Amino acid sequence: MRVVTGEILDVALDLRRSSSTFGKWESFRLSGENKHMLWVPRGFAHGFRVVSDTTHVLYKATDFYAPEHERSVLWNDPALNIAWEFSEEPISSAIVSPKDQRGVPLKDAETFD
């Protein structure tokens, strides 16, 4: 992942049941200004929150896009307690994509061995 212009809060969530960090997440600020990039390995869920007025995000994938295989973990699952950093506006103001609205809690999510 990389941001060309603007800024995002990028989150990676470990979905590998055999991992000591299963169910844990890390977040990173990526922006056109800081030029940081993030590689999200297989077995992780990935999502981001746009924190600037306009943002252009680029990413590479290891395979062809297959929407029929796409899954979504509930972005606001209380069990995960992801800090989406809604300090300036209420969380109720979030615009969530239809796909992310259909996310499931981690306890019901498809995971990896």
pLDDT, tens digit, for every residue of 56-86?
999 998 889 898 988 999 999 999 999 998 8
| C-alpha pair distances (Å), 102 with each of 5, 34, 46, 47, 72 | 28, 32, 15, 14, 7
Query: Considering the entire predicted model, what is its pTM?
Result: 0.91
Enter the CATH code of domain 2-108. 2.60.120.10
What mean pLDDT is reported for the chain?
93
Cβ–Cβ contacts within 10 Å for residue 48, how many? 21
Per domain, the residue ranges of the chain are 2-108
